[in-house]
Every structure is written in structure tokens, then in C-alpha cells.
Chains A and B, each alone.
Chain A
Amino acid sequence: MTKTILTVDDSRTMRDMLLLTLRDAGYRVLQAEDGEKGLEVLNHECPDVIVTDINMPRLDGFGFIQGVRGNDRHRAIPILVLTTESDAEKKDRARRAGATGWIVKPFDPVKLVDAIRRVAA
């Protein structure tokens, strides 16, 4: 079965890049432009993996992750966080919020797909 990935990022550029990479890798891709929209998508979709940015308007990545983990229906979905540098502080906060793993931005497509494969059942 085709796996579905939800990408949450306020940057169109980044969403497009994720789309291109993930589609080429054979995934079905859903997009949301911030944490709030991300949670809305989860009302009617159940992706296999979520890839999310941290810095976003309205609901940021940390809040979004907490929202996912706090919902019994979705708490088992692996969440990969995009962090710009190997920013230890943000990575740590994301981890504490419940992130499954992280990807350094700008992302290497091969590493992204590998990370998804590593966390996707």
C-alpha cells in the first residue's frame, strides 16, 4: 500500500521540495501550511509519517507535535521535524514535545527518504 506523508511547513518552497522528493520516492503527499492546518488535515486523514517545520505562524511545530501526541487516534504517527541547522536546542525541544526524529534543513533528499523509511512501519 502506498504510504501517505503529511508535510507541514509555512514555506511554499519547502512544501514544493518535499512534495517533489516524496512523490518521486513513491509516497502520497498531503500538505498543510501551519500546525493548525496540520491538525485539521488529521481530522480526515491518517498519514503514515508526518514531516513538520518548527517555525510557523499560528501553531508552531512544538504545539503541533503536542497536538498530535495528545490525540489518541494519532499519537502513534511518527513525526520528523525539519530543523535548519543541527540546532541542538530546537531538536531537544522538539524531542521533548514528542518528535520521533529530525531532518536537517536544507534537507538531502536521500536522507529524508531514509529517515522516513526508518520511522515508518
Chain B
Amino acid sequence: MNTLPDSAAIATVALPAILDLRAATPLANALLASRGRELIIDAEQVQRLGGQCLQVLLSAALTWRADDIPLSISKPSPDFLEGLDLLGIRSVHMLEALSSHPGLNDPEQDGTVVLDKDLSR
């Protein structure tokens, strides 16, 4: 899984506002599509975080760590942090720490994947 070209090195996945039951599968697909690249998960828009989307994010962190590629969370919204907190993830760093990589230096990137905003009601 480390064989992907380094040129499209950094991917960004922007999380939608509502991370509920319906958002889990598209989120998993979007993250999978970025596998093998450095990943920035943009959590700025998040208003609601559910258990299943948390699972996907945690699984992504584990996956990126298994691939030995950095993953970071950018601009977490207060609601996102509160959601993590409620579900037993103390902070965004806990999530990032799973991938055991220092954060990225350069937030400018290509290969952005944006989730369908219409998922949110």
C-alpha cells in the first residue's frame, strides 16, 4: 500500500457537517480513495459526530499508521471536538496519535476529496 506515487502526496478530505449514519459509507469511501497519501482531514464544518463516523475516522488513523503515512486533522470545529470527547476520544491529538506521525508542515495540498455537502440535512 505504500506503492502509490509520491507526487500526489497530500490529500485532504473535508468532513461534512453531519457525520451520522448516512455519512459513514461515503466517508469511508472518500478516505479509502486517499489511501497511500499523506492525509489531512478537514474538520472545520463538522456540527455533529456519530459513533459510526468516529469508527471510520479511527479506522483511518489505524490504517494510515499501518501504511506508515502521516495523517492529521485540521481546523477541528468545537462541535467536532465535543463529539470526540463524548465518545471517549479526549482530543484530536488522540486521533492523530493513532497514526503516530508528526503533523504536516504544509497545509497547501492537491488531490482534495470533498465529501458531498448535501449529505447534511
Please give, as numbers and ranges, the residues of chain A lying within 8 Å of B67 by CB-CB distance: none
How long is the Cα–Cα vector from A75 to B22 in the complex, in angstroms?
A: 8
How long is the Cα–Cα vector from A60 to B22 in the complex, in angstroms?
A: 25
Q: Does B114 contact A (CB under 8 A)?
A: no
How long is the Cα–Cα vector from A121 to B22 in the complex, in angstroms?
A: 14
Task: Please name the residue on chain B nearest to A72 by beta carbon.
Answer: B22
Q: Does A46 contact B (CB under 8 A)?
A: yes
How long is the Cα–Cα vector from A75 to B25 in the complex, in angstroms?
A: 14
B48 and A75 form a contact (CB under 8 A): no
How far in angstroms is the closest Cβ of chain B from A1? 10
Give the interface SS of chain A, mostly helix, strand, loop or mixed. loop
A46 and B22 form a contact (CB under 8 A): no
Task: Please name the residue on chain B nearest to A76 by beta carbon.
Answer: B21
A75 and B21 form a contact (CB under 8 A): yes
Task: Please name the residue on chain A nearest to B23 by beta carbon.
Answer: A76
Task: Please name the residue on chain A nearest to B118 by beta carbon.
Answer: A73
Q: Which of A70-86 contact B (CB under 8 A)?
A: 72, 75-76
Q: Does B44 contact A (CB under 8 A)?
A: no
A46 and B121 form a contact (CB under 8 A): yes
Task: Please name the residue on chain B nearest to A121 by beta carbon.
Answer: B48
Please give, as numbers and ranges, the residues of chain B lying within 8 Å of A121 by CB-CB distance: 18, 20, 48, 50
Identify the B interface with A (CB < 8 A).
18, 20-22, 48, 50, 121
Nearest 7 Cβ contacts at the A-B interface: A76-B21, A76-B22, A76-B20, A46-B121, A121-B48, A121-B20, A72-B22
Identify the A interface with B (CB < 8 A).
46, 72, 75-76, 121
Pairs across A and B, CB under 8 Å, 11 listed: A46-B121, A72-B22, A75-B21, A75-B22, A76-B20, A76-B21, A76-B22, A121-B18, A121-B20, A121-B48, A121-B50
